[in-house]
Amino acid sequence: MLLNETADQIRSMKIRGAGRIARTAAAALRDYAETFEGSDLGSFRHGMDEAACTLLATRPTAVSLPNAVRFVMKAMDGTGTVPEAQSAITKAADSFLLSSKHAVEWIGEIGARHISDGDVVLTHCNSEAALACILTAHRQGKNLEVFATEVRPRNQGLLTIRTLNDAGVKTNYIVDSAVRSFINDVDLVITGADAVTVNGAVVNKIGTSQIALAAHEARTTMLVAAETYKFAPRSILGERIEIEERQTDEVLDPAVAATLPHVRVRNPAFDVTPARYVDEIVTEMGAIPPTMAYIIIRDHLGWGIEEFHKDFE
């Protein structure tokens, strides 16, 4: 697929979910690099920078996207010829794809240990990482029941219930606003994340923070399943995560909206759950309290403040 087509598919959400977006971007940069013909390293780098910008502009919230793009683009540092740069990019992209796949598997293993036989688990949206925990526990023979939300307005819950149904997991499908009615029947909430900031706040599909509040009130455990490449390095500068606000026609028929001149439709795609409502974040490095986010950003992802010095020059 051409790079622009890939970018369109991410923008239009044919490819969606933070992990998939990151892997798709890494693979797109690799494929784009391989199509370059010529020997001028400057033109090659320039083309790669443009490709990276095109991918970064697709969706603003999932931090996995800039983290994956940076990981692949950084591989060009120190290369002296186009073939060297191409091969470094291919190696980095392939290594990202493999480590992302392993990260989700590890999260599944670690998350499954938090699920006991007979547990009722609630999940929101369609998260590979959250589903990995549930499906691993199911494969281990634990008897589970899941509540899955509808996820207005894009109904990603349909993807989730199909996967759970295909795996033979007993599942209840509920509208988003029914969460509080059922939360006392739930032992554990597991969601994914699009970003985790340095203060341990979790950015995920709109509605996650209401679910976390309901879980907190009911003393139900709230787990977030997130690969470490969803942790946001720039949050150590105090930068906020941009919350994507999508087209209003996803929420209200434009013909109806046209009859309501005093009504403004809002459609934020994500919200922020403060760290105090999250019991643990299950990463491939282990389950951590959200307050350990800085350690992940600095020691595991390798982003100290010195990485940002050029921003201040």
DSSP 8-state code for residue 39: S
CA torsion sign for 282, 231, 84, 33 is positive
Task: Quote the least distance from Cβ 193 to ligand RUB, whole Å.
Answer: 6
Query: What is the DSSP pairing of strand 280-283 with strand 221-225?
Result: parallel
Strands (DSSP E) contained in 38-180 are 120-123, 145-149, 170-174
Binder of ligand RUB out of 204, 220, 228, 235 (CB under 6 A): 204
The 3-state DSSP class for residue 125 equals: coil
Binder of ligand RUB out of 69, 82, 129, 202 (CB under 6 A): 129
Reply yes or no on whether 125 is catalytic: yes
With tokens 């793009």, the residue in question is 69
Decide: is 220 part of the binding site for ligand RUB (CB under 6 A): no
End-to-end CA distance of the chain: 38
Of residues 164 through 203, those in contact with ligand RUB by CB under 6 A are 191-194
Binder of ligand RUB out of 3, 19, 76, 232 (CB under 6 A): 19
- 48 vs 135, beta carbon nearer ligand RUB: 135
Residue type (1 letter), 156: Q
Half-sphere CA count of 90, side-chain side, radius 13 A: 11
User: Alpha-carbon distance 72 to 52, whole Å?
Assistant: 10
Nearest to 55 by CA among 1, 101, 9: 9
User: Alpha-carbon distance 67 to 176, whole Å?
Assistant: 30
Of residues 245 through 284, those in contact with ligand RUB by CB under 6 A are 269
Residues in the interface with ligand RUB (CB under 6 A) total: 17
Active-site hit among 8, 53, 117, 125: 125
Please give the residue whose beta carbon sits closest to ligand RUB in the complex: 192
User: Alpha-carbon distance 197 to 201, whole Å?
Assistant: 5
Residue type (1 letter), 255: A
Q: Is 56 exposed, middle or buried (0-12, 13-18, 19+ CB in 10 A)?
A: middle
Task: Quote the least distance from Cβ 31 to ligand RUB, whole Å.
Answer: 21
Task: Quote the least distance from Cβ 123 to ligand RUB, whole Å.
Answer: 9
Binder of ligand RUB out of 6, 7, 17, 284 (CB under 6 A): 17
Scanning 121-129, 135-143, 162-170, 174-182 for contacts with ligand RUB by CB under 6 A, the matching segment is 121-129
Decide: is 293 part of the binding site for ligand RUB (CB under 6 A): no
With tokens 């526990």, the residue in question is 137
Task: Quote the least distance from Cβ 57 to ligand RUB, whole Å.
Answer: 16
Scanning 65-73, 95-103, 122-130, 257-265 for contacts with ligand RUB by CB under 6 A, the matching segment is 122-130
Determine the length of the chain. Answer: 313
- 208 vs 220, beta carbon nearer ligand RUB: 208
Hey, which residues does 204 pair with through a beta bridge? 271
Decide: is 232 part of the binding site for ligand RUB (CB under 6 A): no
Decide: is 125 part of the binding site for ligand RUB (CB under 6 A): yes
Of residues 49 through 88, those in contact with ligand RUB by CB under 6 A are 62
Reply yes or no on whether 185 is catalytic: no
The 3-state DSSP class for residue 194 equals: coil
Binder of ligand RUB out of 119, 128, 150, 284 (CB under 6 A): 128
**Active site positions, annotated:** 125, 194
Judged by the rule CB under 6 A, the positions of this chain that interact with ligand RUB are 16-19, 62, 125, 127-129, 156, 191-194, 204-205, 269
